[in-house]
């Protein structure tokens, strides 16, 4: 209970999972399963319109969610969950797909937010959302190859237009027509989503899959041997901006040397990106761009010289190679657990809990996909069965609202100030209008030596001795300390349901080896977890934290540390 512990590990705050976030977690998990598993299948078979098809599946699921739940806020949250879960995709470069998923979800949500959930709005939202893959592709080409890519397209379009007599359609008009056409599958998917929402409630669903810890991926999944560096992330971002703005002003020889050095650095530092550089298609694409630029911009275009056009094409390919490398490096560095944890600690606790729930249900959602080809052959039936799994998971979890107490954990090594923080916390929460109960265990010092602990009733302020060194006839022992029977009874009374009834917050200081063996405060803790419905703050040493979480099946809404989280922030969180 009071033995020395190893250093505290970095903890990520998690918020209680509300009904809205629970729906978003399940819908986002199903969406991510399609993106990761079905998307990989489509890429492996060489399907030519993978982005459009995956976007259409996302639209279908969002429409089904919008029709079943009268809560549009679920939609963009599901897109956020799906985008973050995309980070576990086998692909090394995930930044672009994550941005695409977010744009799709936000555009669809915006249309329904403005015009309602009726059929016409769903179709319009689906049309707009499914246009995003092509628009993103065009934007990526312009970023990667620069303005010359636009001039190259305009020159090529002028040649094709003269062959087919398409002078009435401008180059931008042609892009607009093709972009709108790419949204048609999304409009069809929206109609399918309405049918999915109607059918899902009546379809049988597969049995729930049993999951193990080995089956559950995590947001901070890291490739073997991969190291992270915040300075390198900053360097990638600065170099990318610098090259996009000033690279064309450098001599071509300098550009070649700089890009070669940078690509070599990325190749050596990020093993997960090496397969991308090893793909022949990448180098064939870059070579084709250089050759086409020489032909279209040089011989047939405004430059008038094949060599001049070829030089422009070489600059385009160098720029593209640099951009591909930079975005690859940024994608890897953004998986840095420090970055993930930082964002989740800064007001995104509900998102963290939603991701936990989404990852826990991912194996079930993957199983719901069944045979990948069935989505292509019988899309409405396949997607209806998938969405039925979401509805079943909601039913099994009681609809998603929190059951039992909201558990928070205060952790830190001996002497880090946990009990002192609780002493400061009680008056702060009372200023917020909250009531508190439970126990504190302040240390007792004798000539600079830790002689034992007292137990204080938080509700009344009364205090009795709890344990002392060399206690005669103790009721229990933990390490060198013997526990006083009267102190234990006093603490158990302060933690009883009668004592904590109608109290907003219960403090329990602390859970240690004695409790893990079933003694001490363990009986009171079991009763509180079963019957108390307020907020429960547990003090647990870092070395015992994992064992305590597993033994009592705790799902902490937040984990705090003295010196990391300020006591006023804790009080504000408890008062939310």
How does pLDDT run across 291-332, given as a tens digit for each residue? 676 666 655 555 555 566 566 777 777 777 888 788 888 877
User: Could you tell me if 430 and 382 lie in one domain?
Assistant: no
Is 561 a domain residue?
yes
Distance CA(126)–CA(59), nearest Å, equals 6
Structure token digits, residue 370 = 């069944």
Confidence (pLDDT) at 1: 42
Q: Are β-strands 535-540 and 406-410 bridged in parallel, bridged antiparallel, or unpaired?
A: parallel
Note down the domain range covering 167. Answer: 19-221+348-396
pTM: 0.58
User: Residue 540 has what pLDDT?
Assistant: 92
Structural domain contains residue 190: yes
* CA–CA gap between residue 383 and residue 400 (Å, rounded): 22
- 252 located within any domain: yes
Q: How far is CA 84 from CA 102, 145, 220, 326, 559, in A?
A: 9, 28, 10, 20, 22
Residues 274 and 211 in one domain: no
* Average pLDDT score over residue span 1-17: 38
Residues 37 and 161 in one domain: yes
Report the alpha-carbon distance of residue 309 to residue 299 in Å, rounded. Answer: 8
Integer angstrom CA distances of residue 281 from 148, 277, 291: 21, 9, 15
Torsion of CA 470, 472, 474, 480, to 10 degrees: 10
Collapsing DSSP states into helix, strand and coil, what is residue 221?
coil
> What confidence tier does 213 reach under pLDDT thresholds 50, 70, 90?
very low
Which of 83-97, 182-196, 442-456 is least confident? 83-97
Residues 558 and 418 both lie in one domain = yes
441 and 469 inside one domain: yes
Residue pointed to by tokens 């709890």? 466
Predicted confidence at residue 26, as pLDDT, reads 84
Q: Which residues contact 393 (CB under 8 A, 6 or more apart)?
A: 26, 208, 361, 364
Q: Which two tokens stand for residue 231?
A: 């300075």
Q: What is the pLDDT of residue 23?
A: 85
Mean pLDDT of 467-480: 84
Can you tell me the distance from the alpha carbon of 66 to that of 46, in angstroms, rounded to the nearest whole number?
32
Worst-scoring range by mean pLDDT, 162-171, 263-272, 483-492? 162-171
Q: How confident is the model at residue 70 (pLDDT cuts 50, 70, 90)?
A: confident
Dihedral, CA of residue 512, residue 513, residue 516 and residue 518, to nearest 10: -100
- Regarding whether 235 and 185 lie in a shared domain, the answer is no
Q: Is residue 101 part of a domain?
A: yes
Structure tokens at 368: 């719901």
Task: Show contacts of 98-102: CB within 8 Å, 24+ apart.
Answer: 99/136, 100/51, 100/55, 100/132, 100/133, 100/136, 101/31, 101/35, 101/58
> pLDDT averaged over the chain?
78
pLDDT at position 456: 95
For residue 451, give the 3-state DSSP assignment.
strand
Do 435 and 566 lie in one domain? The reply is yes
The Cα–Cα gap between 463 and 565 comes to: 27
Mean pLDDT over residues 70-86, rounded?
A: 85
Selection from 3-17, 147-161, 346-360 with the highest mean pLDDT: 147-161
Q: Are residues 415 and 382 in the same domain?
A: no
Same domain, 255 and 300: yes
In a domain, 156, yes or no: yes
pLDDT bucket at 122, cuts 50 / 70 / 90 = very high
The residue out of 303, 333, 363 marking a domain boundary is 333
| 217 lies in some domain | yes
The mean pLDDT value for 335-356 works out to 60
> Whole-angstrom Cα distance, residue 168 to residue 158?
11
Residue 5 lies in a domain: no
In a shared domain, residues 265 and 294: yes
Angle between helices 132-145 and 95-115 (to 10 degrees): 140
Question: Distance between terminal CA atoms of the chain?
Answer: 31
Residues 520, 492 share a domain: yes
Contacting residues for 429 by C-beta, under 8 A, at least 6 apart: 436, 504, 505, 571, 574, 575
**Same-domain status, 255 and 383:** no
Which phi-psi region, left, alpha or beta, contains residue 398 (left: φ > 0; alpha: ψ -120 to 50)? left
What is residue 506's predicted lDDT score, i.e. its pLDDT?
94
User: Which residue has 């954990």 as its token pair?
Assistant: 409
Where helices occur in 69-206 by DSSP H, the ranges are 73-85, 95-115, 119-130, 132-145, 147-164, 171-200
Q: What is the pLDDT of residue 369?
A: 66
Please list the residues that pair with 468 across neighbouring strands: 452, 482
Quick: pLDDT tens for 380-416.
Answer: 888 888 888 888 777 665 544 445 788 889 998 888 8
Q: Closest Cα to residue 541, out of 372, 437, 415?
A: 415
Cα distance between residue 75 and residue 31, in whole Å: 11
Q: Is the pLDDT of residue 10 over 70?
A: no
Question: What single-letter DSSP state applies at residue 38?
Answer: I
Tell me the average pLDDT across 340-364: 60
CATH of the domain at 438: 3.40.50.300
> Structurally, how many domains does the chain consist of?
3
Average pLDDT over residues 361-368: 67
Position 6 in a domain? no
Query: Which of 40-49, 453-462, 562-571 tops mean pLDDT?
Result: 453-462
Least confident of 218-227, 267-276, 441-450: 218-227
Sort 334 into a burial class: Cβ within 10 Å, 0-12 / 13-18 / 19+.
middle
Query: Inter-axis angle of helices 19-33 and 50-68, to 10 degrees?
Result: 150
Average pLDDT rounded to a whole number, residues 80-105: 75
């Amino acid at each position: 209970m009071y033995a020395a512990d190893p250093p505290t590990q970095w903890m990520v705050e998690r918020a209680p999972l509300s009904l809205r976030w629970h729906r978003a977690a399940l819908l986002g998990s199903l969406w991510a399963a399609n993106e990761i598993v079905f998307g990989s299948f489509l890429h492996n078979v060489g399907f030519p319109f993978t982005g459009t098809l995956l976007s259409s599946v996302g639209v279908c699921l969002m429409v089904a969610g919008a029709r079943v739940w009268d809560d549009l806020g679920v939609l963009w949250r599901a897109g956020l969950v799906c985008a973050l879960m995309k980070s576990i995709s086998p692909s090394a470069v995930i930044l672009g797909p994550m941005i695409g998923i977010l744009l799709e979800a936000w555009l669809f949500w915006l249309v329904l937010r403005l015009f309602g959930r009726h059929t016409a709005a769903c179709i319009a939202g689906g049309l707009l959302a499914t246009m995003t893959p092509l628009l993103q592709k065009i934007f990526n080409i312009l970023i990667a190859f620069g303005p010359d890519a636009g001039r190259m397209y305009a020159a090529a379009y002028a040649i094709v237009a003269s062959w087919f007599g398409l002078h009435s359609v401008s180059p931008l008009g042609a892009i607009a027509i093709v972009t709108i056409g790419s949204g048609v599958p999304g409009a069809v998917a929206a109609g399918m989503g309405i049918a999915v929402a109607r059918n899902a409630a009546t379809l049988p669903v597969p049995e729930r899959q049993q999951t193990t810890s080995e089956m559950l991926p995590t947001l901070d999944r890291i490739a073997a041997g991969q190291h992270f560096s915040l300075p390198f992330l900053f360097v990638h971002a600065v170099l990318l901006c610098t090259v996009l703005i000033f690279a064309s002003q450098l001599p071509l020889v300098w550009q070649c040397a700089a890009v070669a050095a940078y690509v070599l650095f990325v190749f050596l530092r990020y093993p997960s990106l090496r397969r991308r550089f090893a793909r022949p298609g990448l180098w064939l694409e870059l070579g084709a761009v250089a050759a086409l630029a020489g032909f279209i911009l040089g011989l047939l275009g405004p430059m008038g010289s094949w060599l001049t056009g070829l030089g422009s094409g070489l600059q385009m390919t160098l720029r593209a190679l640099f951009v591909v490398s930079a975005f690859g490096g940024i994608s890897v560095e953004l998986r840095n657990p420090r970055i993930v944890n930082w964002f989740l600690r800064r007001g995104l606790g509900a998102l963290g809990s939603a991701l936990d729930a989404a990852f826990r249900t991912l194996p079930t959602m993957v199983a719901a996909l069944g045979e990948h080809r069935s989505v292509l052959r019988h899309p409405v039936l396949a997607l209806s069965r998938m969405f039925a799994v979401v509805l079943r998971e909601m039913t099994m979890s009681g609809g998603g609202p929190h059951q039992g107490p909201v558990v928070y954990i205060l952790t830190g090594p001996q002497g880090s100030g946990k009990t002192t923080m609780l002493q400061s916390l009680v008056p702060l929460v009372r200023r917020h209008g909250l009531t508190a109960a439970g126990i504190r265990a302040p240390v007792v010092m004798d000539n600079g030596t830790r002689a034992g602990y007292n137990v204080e009733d938080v509700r009344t302020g009364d205090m009795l001795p709890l344990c002392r060194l060399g206690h005669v006839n103790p009721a229990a022992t933990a390490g060198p300390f013997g526990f006083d029977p009267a102190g234990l009874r006093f603490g158990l009374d302060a933690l009883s349901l009668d004592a904590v009834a109608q109290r907003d917050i219960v403090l329990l200081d602390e859970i240690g080896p004695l409790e893990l063996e079933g003694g001490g405060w363990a009986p009171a803790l079991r009763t509180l977890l079963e019957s108390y419905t307020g907020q429960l703050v547990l003090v647990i040493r870092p070395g015992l934290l994992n064992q305590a979480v597993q033994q009592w099946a705790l799902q902490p809404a937040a984990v705090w540390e003295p010196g990391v989280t300020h006591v006023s922030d804790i009080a504000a969180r408890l008062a939310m």
